[in-house]
Amino acid sequence: MLKKFLLYFLKPIPHYSNVVILNLFGFQIIRFLIFRFYIGTKKALYKKLHHKKFNILKKEYEILLNKLEKDGCITIENIFSEEDFDIISNLTNRISDENLIEYKDDASKSPVFKYYNLNSNQLEKFFDSSIFLSKIKKNKVISDLFFLLNYSNLENNMISFQKIKPVDLENQGHINSQLHTDRFYKFHKFFISINDVKKENAAFKYCKASHKYSLKKHFFEYQGSIFESFNSLFKYFFPILKFDRYLVKDYLKLNVSNIESHKNSLIIENGSGFHAAGEFEDIKMDRKYIRINPLNANHYYYLPFALYVLNFRKKLK
């Protein structure tokens, strides 16, 4: 019984709907604190195990890391050599628009845009993905920064290629177009622009410095989880009642910027800061990029911690 409770209690925090009752009774704020403590100790241990590499790389990328810590989002231009970028760009151009899948908004089920998200295995249908992946993994700046920020080496299954095209300029609102955070802890996503990204082709929005932790933000996250729990319950019985999960306007005055970039640029975003998908202004434009996420982002910290608690209980016996 205790094992089931612990596994339920320690479900990944982004999955609010799976812990509705716990949230309503106020346990979410305790879970936030537990996870923050655990993630801090996990990172400290990882740094200790790899302290030499961490210390060397921190000095090498000190300026970039300081800017990322200050703003929560940075752009590094010309991340690949011209030759390597041409190889990557030419490979991705082999994927025709016939493979685009229509995305529908979860709330209204109306067309929003067409896109594809192809992982390393799916890319094999169009070209030899080993060439594509090796160029990314062997890029020193990308691999070094990924190691420093996500406490992990870069693996094939963390890399995917995405393309987005608008369907209707008048109907682009969807769940990700609202300002939101991905995680309550530091979580760095990497994007490599294949074409120029501007406001016209839906450059995403980021609120600089909104990633920084404070007591106010801690209680704000807790409030958001409570509202999301109410929404999960009410949608079946009182669908007309709906809370704004984030209530961003009541939280702080956010400095929202469009994150524009030239092709062959690396964008690093701290997902604990407020951000939102951009909107297309030209129906003929598209956006192409390579996305790099830590492996199993939703469960990355949850599973080891749940097992740690259960093993600790066995030792007590």
* Domain 2-295 in this protein, CATH class: mainly beta
- pLDDT over 90, % of the chain: 30
Could you report the per-residue pLDDT of 19-66, keeping only the tens digit for each? 566 666 666 667 667 767 766 776 777 777 788 888 899 999 999 999
Whose CA is closest to 13, among 40, 36, 43? 36
Pairing, β 73-76 against β 111-119: unpaired
AA identity, residue 208: K
- 265 burial (CB, 10 Å; 0-12 / 13-18 / 19+) is buried
pLDDT of 302 above 60: no
Q: Spell out the residues 6+ positions from residue 47 whose beta carbon is closer than 8 angstroms to its own.
A: 54, 151
Task: Work out the burial of residue 184: count CB atoms within 10 Å of its CB; fewer than 13 is exposed, 13-18 middle, 19 or more buried.
Answer: buried
CA distances from 204 to 191, 244, 258, 310 (A): 11, 21, 6, 41
Domain ranges of the chain: 2-295
Residues 248 and 179 sit within 8 Å (Cβ to Cβ): yes
Bridge partners (DSSP) listed for residue 117 = 162
Label residue 171 by pLDDT band (50, 70, 90).
Answer: confident
- Encode pLDDT of 230-266 as tens digits: 666 666 666 555 555 555 555 556 678 899 999 999 9
Q: By three-state DSSP, how is residue 75 classified?
A: strand
Alpha-carbon distance 11 to 299, whole Å? 8
Q: Which amino acid is at 120?
A: S
Distance CA 32, CA 7 (A): 15
